């Protein structure tokens, strides 16, 4: 594993830090949101980030996979993803609100982190592919040593801090049966696939007692949830067989391991085959780490009441948690209910405030 270079060294960076004006910080955000960057097409947005760092005297470059690398003081690594999901939302600013794809997920957090990295001299990486396969994060953990602390960029609201994500297990199921007349009672491949999925759902269904507790908690965070992603089936072209295939996802809470969930799903097989194509462990951080404490202090200093969050999905922080044993948390401006939404938008005042929070956090962690 190669150590991340710190060029120029951290001492020199702290002596030559530059201030980013509020107007320039907003211009960076609007520019990045205006550059389409769906997964696999991040290069133009990444080059805009490189230009921003170079304009402020920081060395930055695109690595072999397309990540934006701007190493500096590894007391903190700020990282968020450059890519967005597809979707053309006309970019505009109305009444102090920026509309556009990625404004929330996660170009807002990404731009805020770039600004704070320049102002405080900490390390920065903009990763690619988070919305697809987290290839940028996987490359990062294989290519550099862990930092002392990490902040991952995803929307939490300026006064929120995300400490937990469920893991994910993605699989493909396939089965084939001999061709038969539809009047016969024996199950064909489509029925066998449906039956396997029903058994999986039943295996992970909460019992009455835990279901009641879950209802009280108002959250699915502690449950395994099962979701079919795609289904295809029918008689083969030669008419001699029936095929069925499914893509499925199972979300893994911190109370379970990916291996435990995998074993349970495999135990429901009575026919066909199952292969696993995607897995990330759950991620859960203590609210008492130096990172979490620094955020609580910073949010209170700006007049907020810190909210500690757990999310039912996954993010790149699951990759970092699985590879690096360092304190970390996820933070960024924006309402996460607008992730991937057709009305995705970010109040610029919230973006400004998140920069102030991040800067305070980094300054505390550097000291």
Q: Just list the catalytic residues.
A: 83, 130
- Residue 236's nearest CA partner among 187, 172, 189, 182 is 189
H helices present in 121-207, as ranges = 135-143, 189-204
3-state secondary structure of 109: helix
* Residue 177 region by backbone torsions, left for phi larger than 0, else alpha for psi between -120 and 50, else beta: beta
Helix (H) or strand (E) segment spanning residue 279: strand 273-280
CB 134 within 8 A of CB 280: yes
Burial of 218 (0-12, 13-18, 19+ CB in 10 A): exposed
Q: Which residues contact 299 (CB under 8 A, 6 or more apart)?
A: 158, 159, 161, 305, 306, 357
- Residue 77's nearest CA partner among 362, 276, 367 is 362
CB 38 within 8 A of CB 124: no
Give the separation between CA 21 and CA 30, rounded to whole angstroms.
Answer: 14
Query: Residue 150: phi, psi to the nearest 5?
Result: -140, 140
Torsion of Cα atoms, 302 then 306 then 310 then 316, to 10°: 30
Give the separation between CA 152 and CA 272, rounded to whole angstroms.
Answer: 40
CB 158 within 8 A of CB 304: yes
């Amino acid at each position: 594993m190669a150590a991340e270079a710190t060029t120029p060294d951290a001492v020199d960076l702290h002596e030559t830090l530059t201030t980013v004006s509020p107007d320039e910080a907003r211009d960076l955000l609007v520019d990045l949101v205006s550059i389409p960057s769906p997964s696999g097409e991040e290069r133009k947005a990444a080059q805009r980030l490189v230009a921003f760092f170079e304009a402020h005297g920081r060395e930055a470059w695109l690595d072999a996979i397309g990540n934006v690398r701007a190493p500096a003081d590894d007391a903190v690594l700020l990282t968020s993803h450059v890519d967005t999901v597809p979707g053309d939302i006309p970019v505009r600013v109305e009444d102090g609100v920026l509309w556009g794809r990625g404004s929330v997920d996660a170009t807002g957090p990404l731009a805020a982190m770039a600004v704070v990295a320049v102002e405080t001299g900490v390390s920065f990486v903009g990763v690619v592919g988070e919305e697809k396969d987290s290839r940028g994060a996987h490359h990062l953990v294989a290519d550099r040593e862990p930092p002392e602390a990490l902040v991952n960029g995803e929307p939490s609201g300026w006064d929120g801090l995300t400490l937990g994500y469920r893991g994910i297990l993605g699989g493909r199921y396939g089965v084939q049966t001999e061709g038969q007349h539809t009047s016969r009672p024996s199950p064909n491949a489509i029925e066998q696939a449906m039956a396997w999925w029903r058994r999986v759902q039943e295996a992970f269904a909460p019992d009455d007692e835990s279901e009641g507790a879950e209802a009280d908690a108002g959250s699915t965070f502690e449950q395994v949830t099962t979701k079919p992603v795609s289904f295809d089936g029918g008689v083969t072209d030669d008419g001699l067989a029936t095929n069925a295939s499914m893509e499925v996802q199972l979300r893994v809470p911190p109370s379970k391991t990916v291996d435990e969930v995998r074993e349970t799903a495999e135990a429901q097989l009575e026919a066909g085959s199952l292969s696993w194509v995607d897995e990330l462990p759950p991620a859960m951080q203590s609210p008492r780490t130096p990172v979490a404490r620094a955020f609580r202090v910073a949010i209170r200093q700006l007049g907020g009441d810190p909210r500690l969050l757990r999310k039912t999905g996954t993010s790149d922080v699951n990759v970092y948690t699985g590879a690096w044993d360092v304190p970390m948390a996820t933070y960024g401006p924006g309402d996460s209910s607008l992730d991937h939404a057709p009305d995705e938008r970010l109040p610029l005042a919230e973006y400004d405030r998140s920069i102030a929070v991040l800067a305070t956090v980094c300054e505390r962690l550097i000291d």
